[in-house]
Structure 1
Amino acid sequence: MKIAGNRRALRTGALALAVGLVLLAGCRREPDTTAAPTEGPATTQPDTTAPQATVDAPLELRDVIENTPQAVVGISYPPDVNRYPGLAKALSDYATAARGELQQAVDGLGNDKPTMPYELSLSFEKLLETPQMVVISADGSRYTGGAHGEPLVARFVWLPEQQQMLTAETLIPDTKGWGAVSDYVADQLRERVATRLSSDDMEPGQQQEALRSASRMIADGTGASADNFSQFQPITDPNGLITAVRFVFPPYQVGPYSDGTQTVDVPAAVLVPHVAPAYAGLFAKG
């Protein structure tokens, strides 16, 4: 797997610095280089209802830094993602939806100026690129008032040979398969909570109640449904074959906001018996 470790840190730091400079110095507004915000309600979840079709007209995605008296926008893309038009369109759609929701909040201000500028910070990073798969992460936040921003967390798995997105629904097509994934993931998350609580200075009764509360939230967020596992990224061996799938859970799905984004790696041995035959060849055997 080609992980953009140092490069990701540099790009994310640069984006944060640029947004900070905009707030401090009131830089002039840069031309908007992405599609216009959508009208009406928008969603920031990737569309996983159907495979993505080939895009005839390639998009040219470019980083964005923009500011107004009411809001700041910062978006960064991998420099060569335009090589995959269908994937580029999916990233553009996600960013456009996120901007649309920010714009709705700005429009609600009327002529008022917020105490703290509203903000959209979104970074797309390439996690993996092989002839079989290209994996992109989207991480960021959208602030429209309140104590903290709304987390933005998404993963995109593009299959260049098929020119389509690999989704949770197509990867594992039945509830039985998701039941096996659910059991494995929930056990891992509960074990983490139990380990953490055992090191806290709590009365036994308080510890048990905290574990029960955490277990309920984990059960709600890991039910045997593809919807609960829609964000994932394959982990591969040197031959590009999947040895595990890392399922990604945004804050609030399986724990409180303070726990942040959580992940669980499910080994291929658990997944392969339930993977759709069309994708079994992507996985390592044995």
Structure 2
Amino acid sequence: MKIAGNRRALGYGGWVLALGVVLLAGCKRDAEAPADAPAQDPTAALPENVDAPAAPEAPVELRDVIENSPKAVIGISYPQDVSQYPGLAKALSDYATAARGELQQAVDGLGNDTPTMPYELSLSFEKLLETRQLVVISADGSRYTGGAHGEPLVARFVWLPEQQKLLTAETLIPDTKGWAAVSDYVADQLRERVATRLSAEDMEPGQLQESLRSASRMIADGTGASADNFSQFQPVTDPQGQITALRFVFPPYQVGPYSDGTQTVDVPASLLAPHVAPAYAGLFAKG
């Protein structure tokens, strides 16, 4: 509005009146403008015992690897469609990268030498379970850098799609009391298994007792009441997708000699239920 240019034409009183109209209109617009709404907390509506979903990860492309050289052989394979879970794909990629990095460190240590047998990394990821609530991936393989045999590579990844994060042993069962119950059950199962196997062998009584004592020591060391000893596990589910047991996985050397291979023990949901964190109780079958 050309108020200044028309001041003389309007006269002093008219100019003041026009200016008042402009100011009044401006005040009215300010009064009508809504105040900024308070910021909303995206987790405010979540129950107290449910963790907020993690921030989405950037997409990760997983590609199988096959490489051969005089010094090293590398083979890594991934299941299809895992990239739809970016956080899970990143966890698999990170595990494979770490395993490959340790192999490369050993290869670099050779300098200009070439090993009699090429060093080797063999690693296979497989999808064991996929439901609305759970995606479970196994990683099995070995890394050979000399010696009589390779180093076992054993890992399990339990992904929660709704929360976009991995389910770990320490978050699933958060207290020592719970792990003590798991430890007692698993140790008893392993000791019974060893006793049955050794009793079937043709051994002198003294040799049998010594073998049982040695096996019991390894089992006790590998099944202490700590989440670290039970970090590798995979859910066993019913047709409705509810967890009926957890299969704890123990790589060679943890609870037995290399010759015993990877061992597993299924712990029923009925034993686990009293100790599972409330946020994950809904994953388990009732009764």
Q: Shared fold by TM > 0.5?
A: yes
8 Å CA contact 1:248–1:264 kept in 2: the answer is yes
Match of 1:11 in 2: none
Say how many residue pairs are matched. 236
Match of 1:113 in 2: 114
The one-letter code of the counterpart of 2:237 is: T
Distance 1:53 1:171 in 2: 17
8 Å CA contact 2:68–2:74 kept in 1: the answer is yes
Deviation at 1:69, TM superposition (A): 1.6
Match of 1:152 in 2: 153
Match of 1:177 in 2: 178
The one-letter code of the counterpart of 1:124 is: F
Match of 2:227 in 1: 226
Matches within 5 A, 1:1-286: 53-286=54-287
What CA RMSD, in Å, does the superposition of the two structures yield over aligned residues? 1.1
Larger Rg: 2
Distance 1:56 1:211 in 2: 48
Match of 2:23 in 1: none
User: What TM-score, normalized by structure 2, do the two folds share?
Assistant: 0.81
What secondary structure, in the 3-state scheme, does the structure 2 residue paired with 1:189 have?
helix
Deviation at 1:56, TM superposition (A): 3.6
Q: Which sections of structure 2, spanning at least 5 residues, go unmatched?
A: 1-51
Question: Does 1 or 2 have the higher relative contact order (CA < 8 Å, sep 6+)?
Answer: 1
Distance 1:251 1:56 in 2: 33
What secondary structure, in the 3-state scheme, does the structure 2 residue paired with 1:111 have?
coil
Deviation at 1:55, TM superposition (A): 4.3
Deviation at 1:162, TM superposition (A): 0.5
Distance 2:202 2:194 in 1: 14
What secondary structure, in the 3-state scheme, does the structure 2 residue paired with 1:273 have?
helix
Deviation at 1:52, TM superposition (A): 9.6
User: What TM-score, normalized by structure 1, do the two folds share?
Assistant: 0.81
8 Å CA contact 2:54–2:163 kept in 1: the answer is no
Q: Which sections of structure 1, spanning at least 5 residues, go unmatched?
A: 1-50
Identity %: 88
